[in-house]
Amino acid sequence: MQKNFLSITDLSKDEILELLEVAATQRLRVISEMLRHQHLALYFEKPSLRTKASFETGISELGGSFSYFSAVDTGQLGERESVEDLAKTMSEYFAAIVVRVYSHANLEKFAAVASVPVINALSDREHPCQVLADLLTIREKLGRLEGFKLAFLGDGNNVALSLALAAEILGFEFILAGPKDHHLKYDQIKQTEDIDAALQNADVVYTDTWTSMGDEAEEAKRKKLFLPFQLNAETLKKAEANAIVMHCLPAHRGKEITDEVIDGEQSVVFQQAANRLPVQKALLIKLFSKATV
């Protein structure tokens, strides 16, 4: 595996499959000494529950330790000191750095000069750690990672892009249904404003917030624009009868998804959340087994 994990495309198909195998073994909360004497850093410019908790718990269960920095400690990236100076300095203390940022460009700048592995814990472009947990969940529920259709309803955001790129790598069908102005800026990705067409024969129906962190100024405008793409009981009926419902969380109940759907029988959202932990551990195991060879 490469030094950094900034995009889901940093892993090949075989590497994703291998990582999910390792993750499956970590489902039982295995405690190990893999990261003994390794001290890692989490640097988060934005709030987080699942990503922060799963990395912190995962590092501890692998015998390592960590320091957490929020923007309160170090300022937003580039604010208190240059991104490069921060990355070089942090590399002197930590064995790896898990970074959640507003700007993917800053993340790339950071990783380019860091001498230790850098993991994308969410940027405005991608959320690859989330999507690894989603793939584990899909494999557990559908029994396969190719030959199914995933319909993503809503915003062409970071989660949508990582899913679309994963679909290309693994060979499943991805389609996004949402307002044209909020489609992903990639011609090769299937996108439509026709929610019915997107949902037809869908085995997985995925949605995420209409207003990602950083887009808050547009919240009122987006609410109106995205309402036709809400995942509710009526829209869900247009997918396959046994389709699974996914959401990376946090959910905005009554907006992108209704209570009856997120709490319904088809929902696997808490399985996704649970799978963040074994996947984060598998990612660290993979990164560190390479680093220590």
What are the residues binding ligand CP (CB under 6 A)?
A: 48-51, 122, 130, 248-250
Smaller CB separation from ligand NVA, 109 or 125: 125
Choice between 100 and 182, CB closer to ligand CP: 100
The span from the CA of 125 to the CA of 146, in Å, is 24
Residue 120, beta-bridge partner list: 99
Residue 212 in contact with ligand NVA, rule: CB under 6 A: yes
- Measured in whole angstroms, the distance separating CA 74 from the mean position of its chain's CA atoms is 24
Closest contact distance (angstroms) between CB of 122 and ligand NVA is 6
Q: Looking at 83-91, 132-140, 153-161, 230-238, which segment touches ligand NVA (CB under 6 A)?
A: 153-161
Count CB-CB contacts under 10 A for residue 181. 7
Partner whose binding site includes residue 49, from ligand NVA, ligand CP, none (CB under 5 to 8 Å by kind): ligand CP
Answer for which of 45, 61, 208, 256 binds ligand NVA (CB under 6 A) is 208
* Residue 215 C-beta: closest distance to ligand NVA, Å: 8
Q: What is the DSSP string of 172-238?
A: -EEEEES-GGGS-S-TTS-EES-HHHHHTT-SEEEE--SS-TT-GGGHHHHHHHHGGG-B-HHHHTT
Q: CB-wise, 193 or 219, nearer to ligand CP?
A: 219
Q: Contact with ligand NVA (CB under 6 A): which of 7, 137, 157, 272? A: 157
Rounded-to-integer distance, Cα 73 and Cα 61, Å: 26
Which has the closest alpha carbon to 64: 18, 108, 101, 117?
117
User: Which runs of consecutive H residues, i.e. helices, occur in 120-157?
Assistant: 128-142
Residue ranges binding ligand NVA (CB under 6 A): 122, 127, 157-159, 208-209, 212-213, 248
